[in-house]
């Protein structure tokens, strides 16, 4: 749109002009009779216990086939999946684990429950994923693992990260909660590191209400047994009689047959969901590239993104408005959006500021001299100050995507500096 055209359609809705979006966004049903059928079958088994029924087992077998992995284990959540991987990898008190400062707290919880110390590396300003050189700069003799977060379905730079990890003998855990069917150079995210952790909470690409999975990528049966046991109170149920001897502490993070049943039906929809989100996200990038003051969501080189959300950046130096004013103007045009993904980097949360993982205690932080303050990861902080998220849901129509692009363009043009 040309700023000098000056038609009334150019007048921003926030200043009384007409809205870009005048029709409702496309919607659809996530659950149908496919899920009902699986649930009924689960109940008719007369057991909802994963080890006695067939639903969780079938769900995992289908998932393994789709992902081309030898082993995976079901969990009660994505948070649990990450904790299981850390625990089975032997991450323990005082170990350091390098991870991302822009993520869900589910990435951090398992680290702290193992009494390990989260260490934050900075992010690429435009892919919003861990910078390999920043990871390497944080490695100390106490570093045990890296938890990479493929944010919003965009893969991390895994060639570099795996090379660093192998050089320093570190385990790599991929947090794939937001990155179903995300590819890095032809390989699926979740199959590249030692473990891949997925979430099926109600807000992810697919839902079982709550739930998660851990892939075991070494191909070693022993590793699979350890992961399996860590999800199940350290009961060893695989291959013969159950061994309940408690050799070390492990939580109960089991998935039930009800979740497994819904998961079977949801998995069958996953490819279509991810394909549609990929197309929507790519279309938004094509539509907003070159707009004044707008920096599209950049996909990692060699990456294929399944866009759990779409996050662009506002370059205030090219605009007469702030990021927050841009966000408000976009909302007024009928495009729901949020300014940033989380309010602050995770290390600015009270937990890290007060070094209080457990109520009334500074353990395990007192094992470490790690400090968490403003300026720790400058790129990450800047991303959260300048980013705007729009959704790229699979139910959105082509017209919805065109409206999102038109509205971003209208706002950018209206606020462009001369």
Ligand X SMILES: *Cc1c(COP(=O)(O)O)cnc(C)c1O
266 binds ligand X (CB under 6 A): no
175 binds ligand X (CB under 6 A): yes
393 binds ligand X (CB under 6 A): no
Nearer to ligand X, 200 or 298 (CB): 200
Residue from 69, 73, 98, 103 touching ligand X (CB under 6 A): that is 103
Residue from 104, 157, 223, 394 touching ligand X (CB under 6 A): that is 104
| Three-state secondary structure readout of the chain | CCHHHCCHHHCCHHHCCCCCCCCCCCCCCCCCHHHHHHHHHHHHCCCCCCCCCCHHHHHHHHHHHHHCCCEEEEECCHHHHHHHHHHHCCCCCCCEEEECCCCCCHHHHHHHHCCCEEEECCECCCCCCECHHHHHHHCCCCEEEEEEECHHHCCCCHHHHHHHHHHHCCEEEEECCCCCCCEECCEECCCCCCEEEEECCCCCCCCCCCCEEEEECCCCHHHHHHHHHHCECCCECCCCCCECCCCCCCCECCCCHHHHHHHHHHHHHHHHHHHHHHHHHHHHHHHHCCCCCEECCCCCCCEECCCCCEEEEECHHHECCCHHHHHHHHHHCCCCCEECCCCCCHHHCHHHHCCCCCCCCCCCHHHCCCCCCCCCCHHHHHHHHHEEEECCCCCCCHHHHHHHHHHHHHHHHHHECC
**In the complex, minimum distance from the CB of residue 76 to ligand X, in angstroms, rounded to a whole number:** 8
164 binds ligand X (CB under 6 A): no
Nearer to ligand X, 107 or 291 (CB): 107
Nearer to ligand X, 193 or 409 (CB): 193
192 binds ligand X (CB under 6 A): no
Count of residues in contact with ligand X, rule CB under 6 A: 15
**In the complex, minimum distance from the CB of residue 197 to ligand X, in angstroms, rounded to a whole number:** 7
182 binds ligand X (CB under 6 A): no
Residue from 53, 78, 87, 155 touching ligand X (CB under 6 A): that is 78
259 binds ligand X (CB under 6 A): no
Stretch that binds ligand X, among 52-60, 172-180, 333-341, 408-416 (CB under 6 A): 172-180
149 binds ligand X (CB under 6 A): yes
Residue from 72, 99, 182, 201 touching ligand X (CB under 6 A): that is 201
Nearer to ligand X, 132 or 211 (CB): 211
Span 107-146, contacts to ligand X by CB under 6 A: 107
212 binds ligand X (CB under 6 A): yes
Stretch that binds ligand X, among 33-41, 102-110, 134-142, 390-398 (CB under 6 A): 102-110
Residue from 127, 143, 178, 226 touching ligand X (CB under 6 A): that is 178
106 binds ligand X (CB under 6 A): yes
Task: State the Cα–Cα distance between residues 354 and 372, nearest whole angstrom.
Answer: 10
From the list 103, 85, 105, 35, the residue with the least C-alpha distance to 308 is 103
Nearer to ligand X, 106 or 364 (CB): 106
Residue from 39, 102, 158, 177 touching ligand X (CB under 6 A): that is 177
Task: State the Cα–Cα distance between residues 358 and 159, nearest whole angstrom.
Answer: 36
Stretch that binds ligand X, among 61-69, 133-141, 173-181, 401-409 (CB under 6 A): 173-181
Residues that bind ligand X (CB under 6 A): 77-79, 103-104, 106-107, 149, 175, 177-178, 199, 201, 210, 212
């Amino acid at each position: 749109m040309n700023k000098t055209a000056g038609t009334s359609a150019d007048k921003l809705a926030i200043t009384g002009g007409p809205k870009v979006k005048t029709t409702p966004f496309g919607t659809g049903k996530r659950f149908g009779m496919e899920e009902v059928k699986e649930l009924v079958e689960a109940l008719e088994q007369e057991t909802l216990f994963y080890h006695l029924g067939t639903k969780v087992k079938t769900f995992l077998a289908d998932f393994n086939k789709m992902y081309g992995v030898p082993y995976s284990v079901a969990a009660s959540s994505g948070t649990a999946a990450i904790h299981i991987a850390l625990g089975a990898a032997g991450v323990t008190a005082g170990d350091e684990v390098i991870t991302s400062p822009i993520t869900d707290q589910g990435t951090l919880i398992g680290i702290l429950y193992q009494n390990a110390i989260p260490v934050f590396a900075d992010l690429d300003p435009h892919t919003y994923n861990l910078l390999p050189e920043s990871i390497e700069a944080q490695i100390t003799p106490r570093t045990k693992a890296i938890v990479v977060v493929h944010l919003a379905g965009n893969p991390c730079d895994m060639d570099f990260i795996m090379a660093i990890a192998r050089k320093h003998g570190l385990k790599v855990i991929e947090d794939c909660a937001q990155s179903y069917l995300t590819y890095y150079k032809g390989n699926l995210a979740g199959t590249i590191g030692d473990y891949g952790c997925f979430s099926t909470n109600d807000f992810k690409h697919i839902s079982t209400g709550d739930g998660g999975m851990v892939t075991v990528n070494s191909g070693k049966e022993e590793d699979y047994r350890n992961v399996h046991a860590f999800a199940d109170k350290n009961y060893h149920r695989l291959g013969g009689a159950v061994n309940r001897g408690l050799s070390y502490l492990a939580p109960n993070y089991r998935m039930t047959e009800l979740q497994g049943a819904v998961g079977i039906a949801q998995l069958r929809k996953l490819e279509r969901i991810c394909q549609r989100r990929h197309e929507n996200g790519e279309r938004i990038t094509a539509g907003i590239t070159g707009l004044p003051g707008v920096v599209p969501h950049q996909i990692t080189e060699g990456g294929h993104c399944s866009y759990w959300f779409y996050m662009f950046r506002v370059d205030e130096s090219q605009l007469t408005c702030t990021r927050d004013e841009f966000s408000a103007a976009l909302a007024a045009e009928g495009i729901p959006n949020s300014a940033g993904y989380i309010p602050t980097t995770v290390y600015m949360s009270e937990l890290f500021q007060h070094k209080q993982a457990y109520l009334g205690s500074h353990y395990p932080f007192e094992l470490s001299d790690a400090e968490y303050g403003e300026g720790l990861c400058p790129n990450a902080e800047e991303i959260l100050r300048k980013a705007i998220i729009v959704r790229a849901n699979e139910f959105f129509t082509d017209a919805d995507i065109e409206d999102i692009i038109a509205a971003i363009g209208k706002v950018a043009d209206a606020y462009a500096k001369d």
